[in-house]
Structure 1
C-alpha cells in the first residue's frame, strides 16, 4: 500500500524566512520518514475553481500505512 500526504501552505508573512526554515528543517525531517518513496515540492499553484493560490505544496509518497502516524500531530 502507498500513502500520499499533501501539505498546502498559504503565503507566509515572511516568505524568505519561511523558505529558509522549510529548506533547513522540514525537508531534512521528511527525508528521514520511514518508507519515504518520493518528496515533491511545488510553488505558486492556483486552485482550479479560483480562490487564493497556495504558496507551497508538498507531496510525500510513503510505502505502507505504518509511517503515516509520524505525520499526524
Structure 2
C-alpha cells in the first residue's frame, strides 16, 4: 500500500537555499513546459498553494482502515 500526497508550498517561507533551488528548477522546466507537472509548477510558481484535498485524505484513511480490518 503506497500513498502519495503532494502537500503544499509557500514560497515566502522558503529558505534562501530552497528558494534558489526552486528558481533553478523553474528555469530548467521553462525549457520543456509541456511535460508532466511542469505546466502546473510554472503556473503556481511564487504563490502559496495547497494541493491536498480532504477527499484524497478520506479515501486513503478508508483504505488503510480496510486493510487493517482485513489483517485482523
Q: When the two structures are superposed, what TM-score results if normalisation uses the length of structure 2?
A: 0.35
Between Structure 1 and Structure 2, the one with more helix by share is 2
| Max Rg structure | 2
Between Structure 1 and Structure 2, the one with more strand by share is 1
